């Protein structure tokens, strides 16, 4: 099987996350793609509880049997290398590809275990207008993003904090979940 995973905070998950995964599934013929949310120990400001982020991802993906929310039982922050190793152990005969935004891809040389990470396969999503899809590396595919360049979880949180509509940025069921649970409506500092 060909498996992909997208790690991140998904705080909250956006239509850009979902649409890019759907596009990758179709264009690159993945059997399954996993959303892998960081756990509550991840040092990120304004991070709502993992339970809520998992629930939002599951609500967003409920009609897609080939998109799965991957839950880990770890009690410490997981790095990309940790996720690769967990998935390699669970799916030893399968091809595993990590999806990431180009902003994170360009930061990879500063990551722990960078030399080991270079051996894995990646699909890099365009995140800005100056996307360089011409870099030639055998284990990297650059995927153009024809839409959603300006969508981010930060923008969604700011809009919610300011009582503005987010309907154009997130799945309707995710928006309902956020409203029902009263998430992101106050500044957590």
Q: How confident is the model at residue 106 (pLDDT cuts 50, 70, 90)?
A: confident
| pLDDT > 60? residue 189 | no
Q: Quote the pLDDT of residue 56.
A: 97
Nearest Cα to Cα of residue 129 among 149, 151, 103, 109: 149
Mean pLDDT of the chain: 87
**CA 60 to CA 115: how far, in whole Å?**
35
Q: Are 144 and 126 in contact, with CB atoms under 8 Å apart?
A: yes
Average pLDDT estimate for 63-67? 94
Q: Quote the pLDDT of residue 149.
A: 61
Residues facing residue 34 across a β-bridge: 5, 68
**CA 52 to CA 40: how far, in whole Å?**
11
Select the highest-mean-pLDDT range: 21-25, 80-84, 90-94: 90-94
Select the highest-mean-pLDDT range: 45-59, 149-163, 174-188: 45-59
Tokens of 180: 């029902």
Tokens of 109: 């040389």
Select the highest-mean-pLDDT range: 14-18, 53-57, 183-187: 53-57
Residues 6+ apart with CB under 8 A from 174: 12, 13, 56, 59, 60
Average pLDDT estimate for 59-66? 95
Q: pLDDT tens digits, residue range 124-180?
A: 888 766 666 666 688 998 887 766 667 889 999 999 999 999 999 999 999 999 999
In this structure, whether the domain defined by 2-149 belongs to CATH 3.40.50.620 is answered with yes
Q: Report residue 76 CA to chain centroid gap.
A: 19
Q: Quote the pLDDT of residue 147.
A: 65
At 101 the three-state DSSP class reads strand
Q: How many CB atoms lie within 10 A of CB 179?
A: 13
Average pLDDT estimate for 60-65? 94
**CA 81 to CA 88: how far, in whole Å?**
10
Q: What is the reported pTM?
A: 0.88
């Amino acid at each position: 099987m060909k498996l992909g995973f997208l790690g991140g905070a998904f705080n909250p998950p956006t239509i850009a996350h979902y649409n890019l995964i759907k596009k990758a599934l179709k264009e690159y013929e993945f059997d399954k793609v996993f959303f892998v949310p960081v756990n509550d120990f991840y040092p990120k400001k304004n991070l709502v509880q993992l339970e809520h982020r998992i629930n939002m991802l599951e609500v967003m993906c409920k009609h897609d049997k080939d998109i799965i929310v991957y839950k880990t039982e770890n009690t410490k922050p997981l790095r990309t290398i940790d996720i690769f190793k967990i998935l390699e152990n669970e799916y030893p005969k399968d091809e595993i590809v990590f999806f990431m935004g180009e902003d994170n891809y360009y930061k990879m040389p500063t990551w722990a275990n960078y030399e080991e990470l270079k051996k894995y396969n990646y699909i890099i999503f365009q995140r800005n207008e100056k996307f360089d899809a011409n870099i030639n590396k055998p284990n990297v595919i650059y995927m153009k993003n024809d839409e959603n360049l300006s969508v981010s979880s930060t923008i969604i949180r700011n809009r919610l904090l300011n009582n503005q509509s987010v309907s154009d940025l997130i799945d309707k069921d995710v928006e309902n979940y956020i409203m029902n649970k009263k998430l992101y409506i106050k500044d957590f500092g």
